[in-house]
Amino acid sequence: MYVIIIGCGRVGSELAKLLSGEGHNVVVIDKNRAAFERLGGTFNGLTLTGNGFDLELLKRAGIEQADAFCAVTNGDNSNLISAQVAKKIFKVPKVIARVYDPQRAHIYSALGLDVLSGTILFAAMIRDKIIETRFSGYLIETKELGVIEIKVKGVLAGKTIAQVNMPGELLVTAIIRMPGVVIPEPQTVLREKETLMAVVKVASLGKIKEKFGLGER
C-alpha cells in the first residue's frame, strides 16, 4: 500500500515505522523537520516538511496514488482540514483522522471520515476493565465498528465459531489460544480461558453482551 501520514509525533512516527517495516510505501509530512528524528535509522520511506493541507506538497508526496491517508497531528482542526482535502479533492480511498476532542468526533464522522478518538477509546477501555471482566474493551473503534477482546467462559465455552458469529453484528476473526493465535474455522470449538478477537457493530454491543452474558463476573 501507498500511505501518507500527516504528523510525525509519537503516533505518526510509530505508525510510519510499522508500515514501512511491513514493506509498505510510506510518506511522512510534518511542519517540524526535527520531528523526523523519531523515525530512526531504519525507516526507508519519504519525509517532507510542510503542512498536511498544502496541495502542492501533497502532490509531491504522491497523494494521487495513495491508498490511505492518516492525519495524526496534535491539532484537531489541522487533522480535519487535511483529511477533508485528501477525501474530497484527491479521493483517497481510506482517510483516517485523529481527534482529541470527543465532542468533535461525531461531527467528523458525519463528514464521512474515519475517526480515532483517544479519549473515547481509553475511556471505554478503562470502563470495561473496571466494570466487566470478560469484555476486555475496544482495541479500535470507528463510528460503526469496533474490534474487541472477549474472554471465553460460561455459555461461550464449547460453542463453535458458527454458533457465536452473528451475521452483520459480530465476526470472530482470531482466537488467542496458547501458545499462539488461531484463525478459526466455522467448526472451531471454543475452550475455557481462550480470548476471542472480534469485529462488532457498535450499535449491537448491548445485544451481544446480553446474548453471551458478557457483563457477568
Cα angle, residue 139 at apex, residues 136 and 142 outer, rounded to 5°: 125
CATH 3.30.1180.20 applies to domain 2-117: no
Q: Considering the chain, tell me which residue range(s) the CATH 3.30.70.1450 domain(s) occupy.
A: 132-212
Q: pLDDT, tens digit, for every residue of 84-129? A: 899 889 999 888 887 766 666 666 666 666 655 554 444 444 344 4
Which residue type occupies 63? I
| pLDDT digits (tens), the chain, 217 positions | 899 999 998 888 888 888 888 888 999 999 999 999 999 888 999 999 999 989 999 999 999 999 999 888 888 888 888 988 998 899 998 888 877 666 666 666 666 666 555 544 444 443 444 334 444 444 444 556 677 778 888 888 999 999 999 988 888 888 888 777 788 899 999 999 888 888 888 778 778 888 877 755 4
Q: Considering the chain, tell me which residue range(s) the CATH 3.40.50.720 domain(s) occupy.
A: 2-117
Give φ, ψ of 19 to 5 degrees.
Answer: -65, -40
Dihedral sign from CA coordinates of 125, 126, 127, 129: positive
Query: 132-212 — its CATH code?
Result: 3.30.70.1450
Helices (H), the chain: 10-21, 55-60, 76-84, 102-110, 118-131, 161-164, 205-212
Q: How far is CA 141 from CA 47, 79, 137, in A?
A: 28, 18, 10
pTM of the model: 0.56
DSSP-assigned letters across all residues of 88-108 = IIS--SEEEEEES-HHHHHHH
- Tally Cβ neighbours within 10 Å of residue 135: 20
- Please report how many Cα atoms fall inside a 13 Å half-sphere around the Cα of residue 211, on the Cβ side: 11
Q: Report the pLDDT value the prediction gives residue 130, as an integer from 0 to 100.
A: 36
Count Cβ atoms within 10 A of the Cβ of residue 24 and give its class: 0-12 exposed, 13-18 middle, 19 or more buried: middle
